[in-house]
Amino acid sequence: MASTKGKRMIYRSIYEKMKKLGSKSGIGKLHPHMLRHTYLSRLYNIEHDLRFVQDQAGHASPTTTAIYAKTNCKARKRQVEALDDE
């Protein structure tokens, strides 16, 4: 198993590479946690299953997972339109 120092060095290396890629591509601020955030947010927007996203994230508390439970504009529009159908 890698040491904590070794893990930090690997993360730092990935972080720096992603930062450079973000800058060169014109995206701007880019870091590894953004990939996690994007994955979990998109996963939530597919099925709106907070418990599944919580499991995928490895969070102990749904309160932590709720940070990622932001619906996109299409989902919001679909939810409002569903009310009209009732």
Give per-residue pLDDT as tens, 27-48: 888 888 888 888 998 888 888 8
Query: In this model, does residue 60 exceed pLDDT 90?
Result: yes
Give the pLDDT score at 16. 92
Give the pLDDT score at 1. 55
Q: Record the pTM.
A: 0.63
23 CB-near residues (< 8 Å, 6+ apart): 30
